[in-house]
Structure 1
Amino acid sequence: MKAFLVEKIGDKEFTADVKEVAIPKCGENEIVIKVTYSSLNYKDALSSVGNPGVTRNFPHITGIDVAGTVYESTSSIFKVGERVLVTGYDMGMNTNGGHAEFVKIPADWVARIPDAITDKEIMTFGTAGLTAALSVNELMDNGIRPESGSILVTGATGGVGSIAVSILSKIGFTVVAISGKEEKTDYLKRIGASEVILRDTFNEEAKKPMMGEKYAGVVDTVGGEVLANALKYIKYDGVATCCGLTSSHELNTNVFPFILRGVRLIGIDSVECKLEKKQAAWEKIASKWKISTLNSITNEITLNEVKDAYSLLLAGKAVGRYVVRIKD
């Protein structure tokens, strides 16, 4: 089969490209998926250059998301021919991932694809969409509603940010987007943002320990200074979710938002969260949270184009989601 393979060729030296490799064989309580679509994520890009924080086992097939049909199964839960997907857990990290024509997966990692959504659509969401949906869930589970006020989305042109903007807009929220890409202002408004603030402007204006109350909630995808400043603007009893660190893994803040306004900061993890929680999110994504702007945020590529797309991701030049077509 064809697969995007990363190989270690020397000390801190790696090569990555499409290669022919053996089709995996099904073990106990495993399934082999015949892949239709996968997607690209920042974590995939890091794996492709041998980042030890993501992948230590080589040779390695990238791809933390996958959708397709069950080709072979030793599980009592999944039958040959069922449409399934996998996001998270160890897939694409130290277990071979979805950038291949076939992938072998523990059955405990697998979710069913809802009937109302195609393989391509669910991979357009992928880990990014699942993370966005889990973030929106936390806002709403903590009492944030459209009438509560506007929601600030940071890193809004990225995969998680773009989908969060679109979902929030679809379900009635007013969305303010933060981005470092001024040229993408029209794009962000097209997918649902009512206002776009440039990242540098946002950070320059937030100099005080506390700022005026502006946002009922925040969906943060970048961490660092942007998150620290966003916390200063949250209204009383508001909520911020945090799922990313593309700006920084550090958070230098103060306690005022938490003790004076009762702000809650909630971490979002889509990798190890329970399969039942993932399945529930996929059902929402396929129905009432299914967005009409998917085509606007999707770049469809083939396996042979993955390498170039990784370069864009690593350079911070990617916009929206990259969906990888493996099999029609």
Structure 2
Amino acid sequence: MNYKALCATEVNEKLEIGIINKQLDDNLNPDEVLIKVQYSSLNYKDAMALNGNMAKIMRRLPMSPGIDLSGTVEMSSSKNFNVGDEVLVTGFGMGEKFSGGYSQYVKIDSNYIVKKPNNISLRESMIIGTAGFTAMLAVDEIIESNFDKSKAKILISGSTGGVASISIALLSNMGYQISTLTSKNNQENYLKSIGSNEVISTQDFLQSNSKPLNSSKWMGAIDTLGGEILSSILASMNYGGIVISTGNALSNDLRTTVLPFILRKVKLIGIDSVYSQINYRHKIWESYSQLIPKDTLNKIVTEIYLKDLNSYAIKMLDGKLKGRVIINIKDS
């Protein structure tokens, strides 16, 4: 049987990406599962891979990109998964070390697979995807800190992106007061519609929080940008505050002092969604996916097809997208 896949190859030292027809190989290794993919999503890492394989996201070629997928089990040699099970996969090197979700069929090690929670659809699981999983991991760290919701204001940066959008929706729905940072002047209505109580200009924030230690404003923060934004956030936290670092869309650099840590007991915690243990993944998906309002998922999503991926990858790298982009694989 033939199926479609987006394939990246190297020809004369140049990256070529296109949709091809492939012959399905249904021979499975032990503990391997064949998934009929329904949806995938476009993450920043995917956009980098599609645009010249920046930072060598794809470690070997040829392969299909895509670090997320959801679909149904078509064949299984694993005792943990049966034909017809609805499942999802994020991370573990998929779309980097081995072929990923931009393909109508994917064979994958069963140890990387999460059974889809009953309360969300396959489509909704990819609106959440890696970005939402990262957001849920960050939110879990904030929840574990046991802040008083009535007093704990939370700051979220890069707020029109996928991680931030889902963080806003999730924390707002749980009763937290949310402040958001954005450099996009025309996105205030969008941010407030998904749960932000206060929208702050990134430029104004940097200008008013430029000291090694600024006035205390927030109990928790989720940063997706890095660089000077993260530095200023650290210097503006309340005593005992927690800052969650989830990304480096602005910069890998972090210039700070020890003052927020030794004078205010601020904690800086990093999030890695790629290699989170599988049991913890199950817990996070089951605990938090049901708390993201369905109407918010519909507000933040744009649905495209395989043929649209290259143009949307460029838009993402140029900062021209908001929310989440999912790919309808089954109808591509």
- Which of 293, 296, 307 is 1:304 aligned to? 307
1:223 is aligned, of 213, 219, 226, to 226
| Structure 2 residue ranges without an equivalent (≥5) | none
| 1:191 counterpart residue number | 194
Instruction: State the shift of 1:292 in Å.
Output: 3.2
The correspondence of residues 268-283 of structure 1 with structure 2, limited to 5 A, is 268-283=271-286
Any idea what the Cα deviations from partners look like across 1:237-290, whole Å, max 9, x if unmatched? 010000100010110011111000000000011110111111111112332344
Q: Give the stretch that moved more between structures: 242-251 or 47-56.
A: 47-56
1:97 corresponds, among 95, 100, 105, to 100
1:76 maps to what in 2?
79
TM-score scaled by length of structure 2: 0.95
Query: Residues 14, 44 of structure 1: CA spacing in aligned structure 2 closer, same or farther, 3 A cutoff?
Result: same
Matches within 5 A, 1:94-243: 94-243=97-246
**Residue 14 (1) aligns with residue 19 (2):** no
Deviation at 1:10, TM superposition (A): 2.8
Report the Cα distance in structure 2 between the residues aligned to 1:263 and 1:24, rounded to whole angstroms: 52
Aligned position for 2:33: 31
Are the counterparts in 2 of residues 171 and 289 from structure 1 also a CA contact under 8 Å?
no
Q: CA deviation at 1:220?
A: 0.6
C-alpha distance after superposition, 1:226-246 (max 9, x if no partner): 010011111000100001000
Q: What is the alpha-carbon distance in structure 1 between the residues aligned to residue 25 and residue 105 of structure 2?
A: 7
- The reply to whether residue 285 of structure 1 matches residue 288 of structure 2 is yes
CA distance in 1 between partners of 2:55 and 2:298 (Å)? 34
Superposed structure 1 runs of 4+ greater than 3 Å apart: 288-292
Report the equivalent of 1:324.
Answer: 327
Whether contact under 8 Å (1:145, 1:173) holds in the other structure is no
TM-score (norm 1): 0.97
Q: Displacement, 1:41?
A: 0.4
Cα RMSD of the aligned pairs, angstroms, is 1.3
**In structure 2, how many angstroms separate the alpha carbons of the residues matched to 1:67 and 1:265?**
32
What SS class does the counterpart of residue 150 from structure 2 fall into?
A: helix
Q: Cα deviation per residue 1:56-75 (whole Å; 9 max; x = unaligned)?
A: 21112011010010011111
- Secondary structure of 2:295's match? coil
What is the DSSP-based 3-state SS (H/G/I as helix, E as strand, rest coil) of the residue aligned with 1:188?
helix
SS of 1:151's partner is: strand
Match of residue 245 from structure 1: 248
Partner letter of residue 6 of structure 2? F
Deviations 1:132-189 (A, max 9, x none): 0100100111222412321000001001011001111100011001111111111111
Distance 1:218 1:66, change over 3 A: same
Cα separation, 2, equivalents of 1:155 and 1:170? 19
Kindly state the Cα deviation for residue 24 of structure 1 after the two structures are TM-superposed: 4.2
Partners of 1:46 and 1:308 in 2: CA distance: 12
Say whether residues 1:3 and 2:23 are aligned partners: no
**Maintained 8 Å contact 1:24/1:104:** no
Q: CA deviation at 1:51?
A: 2.5
CA separation in 2, counterparts of 1:228 and 1:168?
Answer: 23
1:85 counterpart SS class: strand
Structure 1 counterpart of 2:259: 256
* Matched-pair contact (CA < 8 Å) for 1:38–1:98: yes
Q: CA separation in 2, counterparts of 1:40 and 1:288?
A: 22
Please tell me the residue identity of whatever aligns with 1:20.
N
Where in structure 1 are there 5+ consecutive unaligned residues? none
1:105 deviates by 0.7
